[in-house]
């Protein structure tokens, strides 16, 4: 399939065609008839195929991102299996509103890591000092410290009326 150009020409073409047509159908359904949406999608998909014909980086990007996505998907499946072994249903974890937002932020963060890990860092110019492992270690340490302080402050009541400090003043 690689020798026939499936990965370099056909798959980027089909992916662009499906994404653009889906977005146009979702966003501009009343403004454009299906034939106009199809024509616009087809033209943009041909430009994507032209771009991928001289840019071999597209093949590397899609190969890397699909492989990393597979690894993350297997990780999620293992987490769900471990939850099932303990008798916990994933929908039970989502009853709390904060847990939903934490999961959304986690999925967005994982998506960003996969996107940049697949080689899309050239889209956003990032200073070279931020690409070192020392920077990420310090950043991770700061995030962990912030979480620890947040949990410690939450445990003490944090002035939100949970510790009973206001009652002592009134006596």
Q: What is the pLDDT of residue 171?
A: 47
Domain count, the chain: 3
* Residue at 97 is within a domain: yes
More confident residue, 162 or 83: 83
Give the domain extent around 105: 63-118
- 24: pLDDT confidence band, cut at 50, 70 and 90? very high
Residue-wise pLDDT tens digits, 78-95: 777 777 777 777 677 677
- Overall average pLDDT of the 125-141 stretch: 73
Residue-wise pLDDT tens digits, 31-90: 889 889 999 999 999 988 888 878 777 777 777 777 777 877 777 787 777 777 777 776
- 21: pLDDT confidence band, cut at 50, 70 and 90? very high
pLDDT at 158 over 70: no
Q: What is the 3-state secondary structure (H, E, C) of the chain?
A: CCCCCHHHHHHHHHHHHHHHHHHHHHHCCCCCCHHHHHHHHHHHHHHHHHHHHHCCHHHHHHHHHHHHHHHHHHHHHHHHHHHHHCCCCHHHHCCCHHHHHHHHHHHHHHHHHHHHHCCHHHHCCCCHHHHCHHHHHHHHHHHHHHHHHHHHHHHHCCCCCCCCHHHHHHC
Looking at the fold, whether 51 and 3 belong to one and the same domain comes out as yes
Looking at the fold, whether 114 and 132 belong to one and the same domain comes out as no
């Amino acid at each position: 399939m690689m020798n026939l150009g499936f990965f370099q020409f056909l798959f980027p073409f089909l992916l662009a065609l499906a994404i653009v047509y889906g977005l146009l159908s979702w966003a501009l359904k009343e403004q454009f008839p299906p034939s106009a949406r199809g024509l616009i999608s087809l033209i943009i998909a041909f430009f994507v195929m032209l771009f991928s014909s001289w840019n071999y980086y597209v093949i590397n990007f899609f190969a890397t991102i699909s492989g990393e996505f597979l690894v993350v998907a297997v990780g999620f499946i293992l987490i769900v299996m471990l939850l099932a072994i303990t008798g916990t249903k994933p929908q039970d974890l989502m009853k709390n509103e904060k847990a939903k937002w934490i999961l959304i932020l986690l999925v967005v963060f994982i998506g960003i890591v996969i996107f940049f890990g697949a080689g899309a860092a050239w889209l956003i110019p990032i200073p070279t000092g931020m690409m070192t492992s020392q920077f990420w270690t310090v950043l991770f340490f700061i995030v962990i410290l912030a979480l620890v302080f947040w949990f410690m402050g939450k445990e003490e009541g944090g002035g939100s009326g949970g510790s009973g400090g206001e009652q002592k003043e009134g006596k």
